[in-house]
Structure 1
């Protein structure tokens, strides 16, 4: 298929519309349940009071507001895809935001800013004695401020809203690739997201992958769990960007009703229990001829975790000591395997690494 035909096909999958609305109209849509915010989104990310104040300040100073993106469902209701922080800040400040469980959220109290120091301690209206409220004219100014609403119509391809969410949120400074995927997982299958998060926190896994605190904050552990399942249930297609592959795998796996997640969870736990017993925090580190050392290597994780998991039933026929010896020996021998040696170096692209190492991993760890 030519590039021109690919572009035409992709455009047909996304049917959109859009128009300007006042924030007051948006508030009313939310209050009438015609604009929905996924409760899990509110648990994942939340602006602090400084960022909320700066956004309210921008509206009062008539600074243009970036658009929000919504998906229109079959009933005509809108589901928020992008703009959570901006929209929830307005809804919370005005006292209409509902929490993840439907509870009333305590309205914000603002800070003073360089341009508007008198915003300090201001609220939408007086709730308690001593409160200082913005006046009616300022409330009307906020309600009348206009925002562009971009609408992904129901005629669009089913996966379009997930694609759009990823495109809008990937590449910025705030969210990592996996943090964006977490949101997409919540949109499709919140239980699958919870499973990924739970498995990323079990001791055997955290000890073997040995990630830094910063990496954990950016959801690196959750991404590694996703890779574990993706390699089995959504085979890698040569040439596809690794992050695009993981994006695609997440959507497809989240929607797959045929996967027995109880069995998959057990296999995951057994795999990392064996790896932790055998190698501990050296499980995915370089063998130097005399000892394991250095930093975590993704090429080792992909090869060893996938290879062990695919042969777990046969490996388990051995005694535990024999299992451990097998894993240690194979982890050492990996460094003299020509396929691994050629495709695991620092200069090897992720696309090449996955296409070469995943096929060899299953055979390499076969007892």
Structure 2
């Protein structure tokens, strides 16, 4: 296990901070922020809570957590604390490896779970034979290309071959989950890799290998004019006639219920993160919009191409911009303090308002051009004056700064920003962060808090009013 200080290429203050949500002795949830000390001579880190918070100390070395000491007011067990601490370190590493500064986002302002009406959950179970499924894939009625899973399809030919062997042996496959859109098209929620393998085999793009039982079928494809090169006819018929079960989420199911079902399903293996789930629940036009903007020349230039794509970090940043622009267009309710729910709702709004996609794309590109010009290489990064010195390590992209500055800069024409010297805002904002501790705090901890985000927006707007005329 690597110590956290070794996790990131770029640098951020969060390299030495993690936030834990623990139980108090009264049963309430309490947040404890841990700050690390510098590694000692024996490569050990000691993490300590702030003086004004319940006292907690964790010692960590290359092998993991070696000691947990907590005050009596913390009722969470040492093992629970250890597991949450290691999960937090992992989250920091994943986030910052994608070029995004890990922030203490805090609990949502509206962190109240309102159980939805069970009657609104509409999931139908239907059998489909593989012949029909294959036809639906070819006709585009089943979407097999959600962007987030393209790179996670099995690369082990043996594993793929044994899936086909299971069908040939009449071994039932686990149920597949689908989300149906209003046009009737099915989007794969769970089972994409299995369907992809089946489609590959029926397309003659998979030659069986490393089978466990049907050794005589190794080296063969599904169909060929030469019987020696393809599987036996009885197996071909068996595959095409095999029935597989689809659980289909009805398009009338409320959006929040759909997202909840999706999150509950995707718990095993490599769980999808929130943006990957949104991507799967997006209409094709929405996926195309977000994907194109997140890889646009303007975005890459403004962010120095430093934001990761593997876990869709670039697309979540883009969606944050789109969500707040949708509120300005009157198509989405104002932000209430729960960022995940806000972005879920924004995704649904984009799905149902394709007519504004062009406007949003124009605004996004405008914002990125302005950000690059005004901040240069420091755009959307939480930089103090020392971070602007020659040779200083580059800070990571800050979610809060990206959101507030990009949305604000979208309304300013190129001609006005070009009147300012290139990169001039980097120094101005660095000085403001040092002068206004409330601003620094608003983009450092509790960054999804409605009031803190509103304050960060107000600073960005004030700067533009004062300096961009």
TM-score (structure 2 length as normaliser): 0.59
1:237 aligns with 2:332: no
Distance 1:54 1:244 in 2: 40
The one of 309, 317, 320 aligned to 1:216: 309
Partner of 2:281: 184
Q: Matches of 1:14 and 1:35 in 2, distance apart?
A: 26
Pair 1:57–1:330, CA change in 2 (3 A): same
1:366 and 2:465 correspond: yes
Is 1:7 the counterpart of 2:7? The answer is no
Q: How does 1:1-367 map to 2 (within 5 A)?
A: 6-9=114-117, 11-18=118-125, 21=127, 25-28=129-132, 30-31=134-135, 36-38=141-143, 40-41=145-146, 45=150, 46-48=153-155, 50=157, 51-60=159-168, 64-71=172-179, 79-82=186-189, 83-93=191-201, 95=202, 105-113=203-211, 120-127=218-225, 129=226, 132-139=229-236, 142=239, 147-153=244-250, 156-157=253-254, 164-165=261-262, 167-169=264-266, 173=270, 175-185=272-282, 188=283, 190-210=284-304, 212=306, 215-234=308-327, 237-240=335-338, 242-257=339-354, 259=356, 261-292=357-388, 293-310=394-411, 312-313=412-413, 316-317=415-416, 319-322=418-421, 324-326=423-425, 328-345=427-444, 347-348=445-446, 350-351=448-449, 354=453, 357-358=456-457, 360-367=459-466
Q: Check conservation: 2:323, 2:346, Cα contact below 8 A.
A: yes
- Whole-angstrom distance in 2 between the partners of 1:319 and 1:246: 32
Q: More helix by proportion, 1 or 2?
A: 1
Q: CA deviation at 1:231?
A: 1.8
Counterpart-to-counterpart distance in 1, 2:321 and 2:274: 17
Contact 1:307-1:363 within 8 A present in 2 as well:
no
- What stretches of structure 1 of length at least 5 have no aligned partner? 96-104
**Aligned partners of 2:146 and 2:279 also within 8 Å:** no
Q: Distance in 1 between matches of 2:322 and 2:180?
A: 31
Post-superposition CA distance 1:73-97 (Å, at most 9, x none)? 789x67243333322422442x3xx
Q: Which residue of 1 aligns with 2:109?
A: none
Q: CA deviation at 1:67?
A: 0.9
CA change 1:91–1:321 in 2 (3 A) is closer
State the Cα distance separating 1:66 from its structure 2 match. 1.9
- What is the aligned-residue RMSD (CA, Å)? 3.9
Task: Give the superposition deviation at 1:144.
Answer: 6.1
- Output the CA distance in 2 between the equivalents of 1:330 and 1:42: 36
Cα distance in 2, alignment partners of residues 196 and 256 from structure 1? 14
